[in-house]
Structure 1
Amino acid sequence: MKLVISILIFFFNSFSKKKLSYQAIGNAYLVCESQFDKNIFDYCSYIKDGLLKELPNISRRSIFFLRVHPPILFRFVAPCYSIFVQVEHTLVKPGGRDSEGFEAGALLIPGVSSSMTYLARLSKYESMKKFDFIVEYSRINLVNIQGAAKFSNLRDKVLYLSPALYKLNSASSDARRRNFITITNFGNAEEPRRKNFLEVMRSKEIPIQNIRTWYSDVEELYARTRILVNIRQTDHHDTLEELRVLPALRSGVIVISELAPYKELIRYAEFIIWGTLDELPEIIRNVQDNYEATWNSIFGTSKFARRMNRLELCNQLTMARWAKQINCKLTSSR
């Protein structure tokens, strides 16, 4: 079996830009890209680690493909299951960039007509629907998508895994170690609303630094950071950037974020400092001036650790249920 898979991957890699590798765990084999995209590397690695922990529980020989649709020849070797990783912002107002042609979702747009909903924007839907399972990082996305009739065929495929990345490390507010006082990490700081925000911060002489190219070892960046500021990229794309926010919190970083619609769905909103775009500069100044007291109010109680541990446990239970579902499929296919 190993030899056959090795040969198939060799031939695949010979004719494809996307290079694959595999690991054998018990009865199962996990095939994935040799190198994940840099901007989602940590989340994909987290999912991969979760899969590797569950694969010893798979009862029969089978092959799992992470972010890869199984090439046809693999299906002659063993049952194959493919897993898509959904990392897009799907909560988009009508008229927003790249929103044309998408159906209404389930969530109402706050502050406008009582009947106007966000769109459920799944730009990779045609590819996604071919996969057996879909990993979703955002409960806000999930609730919105599940209300769209067009995407009803995805409902039984979705695995919600919060990005509880990095070992919980909120034990220290050490200002000497955390030498980045306040940061943003915008990939594109020239987006108008983000550019304008940074200009306002400079005009008010509030220290802030955009870290744009730190893609590897992000955990180290957060270990050296006191405050992370989160601003949405556009006025139309409203999904909270949880892939940025939650890992930072778990690293003991104070997170100050622009208010996000349906933030109560994320289960850790109380540990984030929220404000409107106009309010954020003075909120940031106040937190900078009262860093130790603010840090202790967020991380200094046992409630924060309990909530973070609960998120991890929920992810583990999701993966355990997934493995049980796979075993049922394998049993019924005999």
Structure 2
Amino acid sequence: MPLLNDSPLLMNRDLVLRHLAARRVRLSRTKVFFQQEHTLVLPGGRDVPAGTPAGTVPSLLDPAETYLVRVVNAAHYEAADIVVDYAVPNVVNVATSGLFPDAILNRIVYAPSLPFAYETGGDRPLDVLSNFFDTAQPRRAPLIRALTDRFPGYRNVTGVFDLPGLARLYGSARILVNAHQTPHHHTIEEFRVLPALSRGAIVISEDVPLRTHVPYHEHVVWCRFEEIPDTVAAVLADYDAVFDRIHGGGRLARRLAAMRSDFARDMDAALARLPAPPAPWDARFWARLRGLLDRR
């Protein structure tokens, strides 16, 4: 299948490819684009081309300002048969902007980052985990220092990209911390948040725009960036109660199952809208021959 991009960091890749294989999609004729960028970016953010249009979603920092609609690889939106996005807020930002025709919007499908089966048990030797790869980023370096100074059981682990390794890593942590890399790029980092949540970690995340559109938002502990260390301390002090609120009672398991079902429904709808593939040469030949005979 022509994947217009590919990466081991695509936590929703296997879900998509398994579904297409189960539907016997002609892989050689279906172009899939995995959209993996932040579209919700504030003015002044890096890697934002001049003239990037504003959308309609209010900023978390100033409700009078709206996020831009940052589209990377716009040509892939045109060329692809299916555009797979990793975050519902990205989809909403694009869909509400009024900048895209239905022909583009109808090919966008949200595929959740669920490479692992839901599992909450096991030994969890890490009290607090982050897996920020670029630790020199201006916001992340001081956060790592603050967490290191305050919590002896904290580790920032880098260099783990394979799915079995990530499953073990997330399954070894009581708490995962997530923060935006820059003060401008605010789409939820679902490639990190949802896999960790599905392995039984408590996820403490910096707040995101369109939070209530995130299907599992009730199962994440949200706070402002500057509140992260205090929030970690509060969760550790009341860990069992917070764990039960997030992972107890089977609610999250049912939510994740519903997300998989919703994805299957939406992907099937997008596939059904694709133009019918041309008939094979032999089928066209026999159809034409039958037409000629019928006219005799």
Give TM-score scaled by structure 2 length. 0.85
* Alignment-mate amino acid for residue 46 of structure 1: L
1:253 match: 201
Superposition pairs of residues 71-86 of structure 1, within 5 angstroms = 80-86=29-35
For residues 191-213 of structure 1, what are the alpha-carbon distances to aligned partners after superposition, in whole Å with 9 as ceiling and x for unaligned? 01011111122333453211110
* Alignment-mate amino acid for residue 297 of structure 1: R
Alpha-carbon distance in structure 2 between the residues aligned to 1:246 and 1:292: 20
For residues 76-95 of structure 1, what are the alpha-carbon distances to aligned partners after superposition, in whole Å with 9 as ceiling and x for unaligned? xxxx2211110111100011
Shift of 1:165: 2.6
What RMSD in Å do the two structures reach over aligned CA positions?
A: 2.4
What secondary structure sits across from 1:329 in the alignment?
coil
Select which of 48, 52, 68 maps to 2:17: 48
- How many residues are treated as equivalent by the alignment? 277
2:114 match: 164
Select which of 288, 292, 298 maps to 2:240: 292
Superposition pairs of residues 133-282 of structure 1, within 5 angstroms = 133-152=82-101, 153-170=103-120, 172=121, 174=122, 177-205=123-151, 207-216=153-162, 217=164, 218-282=166-230
2:55 aligned with 1:105: yes
* Alignment-mate amino acid for residue 145 of structure 2: E
For residues 248-307 of structure 1, what are the alpha-carbon distances to aligned partners after superposition, in whole Å with 9 as ceiling and x for unaligned? 111111101111121111021111111112211121112223323321221111322221
Alpha-carbon distance in structure 2 between the residues aligned to 1:290 and 1:113: 33
2:73 match: 124
Shift of 1:235: 0.1
For residues 307-327 of structure 1, what are the alpha-carbon distances to aligned partners after superposition, in whole Å with 9 as ceiling and x for unaligned? 11111111121233234334x
Change in CA separation of 1:305 and 1:192 when aligned onto 2, cut-off 3 Å: same
Change in CA separation of 1:243 and 1:300 when aligned onto 2, cut-off 3 Å: same
Unpaired stretches in structure 1, ≥5 consecutive residues: 1-29, 66-79
* Alignment-mate amino acid for residue 103 of structure 1: P
The more displaced of 141-150 and 222-231 is 141-150
What secondary structure sits across from 1:129 in the alignment?
helix
Alpha-carbon distance in structure 2 between the residues aligned to 1:160 and 1:46: 11
Shift of 1:32: 5.1
Alpha-carbon distance in structure 2 between the residues aligned to 1:269 and 1:113: 21
User: What is the percentage of aligned positions where both structures have the same residue?
Assistant: 27
Alpha-carbon distance in structure 2 between the residues aligned to 1:127 and 1:92: 20
Change in CA separation of 1:255 and 1:149 when aligned onto 2, cut-off 3 Å: same
Unpaired stretches in structure 2, ≥5 consecutive residues: 285-296
* Alignment-mate amino acid for residue 97 of structure 2: A
2:279 aligned with 1:329: no
Give TM-score scaled by structure 1 length. 0.76
2:258 match: 310
Alpha-carbon distance in structure 2 between the residues aligned to 1:36 and 1:130: 15
Shift of 1:219: 1.5
Given that residues 148 and 155 in structure 2 are in contact (C-alpha distance below 8 angstroms), is that contact kept between their aligned partners in structure 1?
no
What secondary structure sits across from 1:278 in the alignment?
helix
Given that residues 35 and 86 in structure 2 are in contact (C-alpha distance below 8 angstroms), is that contact kept between their aligned partners in structure 1?
yes
* Alignment-mate amino acid for residue 203 of structure 1: D
* Alignment-mate amino acid for residue 118 of structure 1: Y
Alpha-carbon distance in structure 2 between the residues aligned to 1:97 and 1:31: 30
Alpha-carbon distance in structure 2 between the residues aligned to 1:268 and 1:158: 20
1:72 match: none
For residues 111-145 of structure 1, what are the alpha-carbon distances to aligned partners after superposition, in whole Å with 9 as ceiling and x for unaligned? 4253x321111121123322122111111001111
* Alignment-mate amino acid for residue 8 of structure 2: K
Shift of 1:239: 0.3
Given that residues 164 and 311 in structure 1 are in contact (C-alpha distance below 8 angstroms), is that contact kept between their aligned partners in structure 2?
no
What secondary structure sits across from 2:116 in the alignment?
coil
Change in CA separation of 1:43 and 1:113 when aligned onto 2, cut-off 3 Å: closer
Q: Which has the higher contact order (CA 8 A, sep 6+)?
A: 2
Shift of 1:331: 8.2
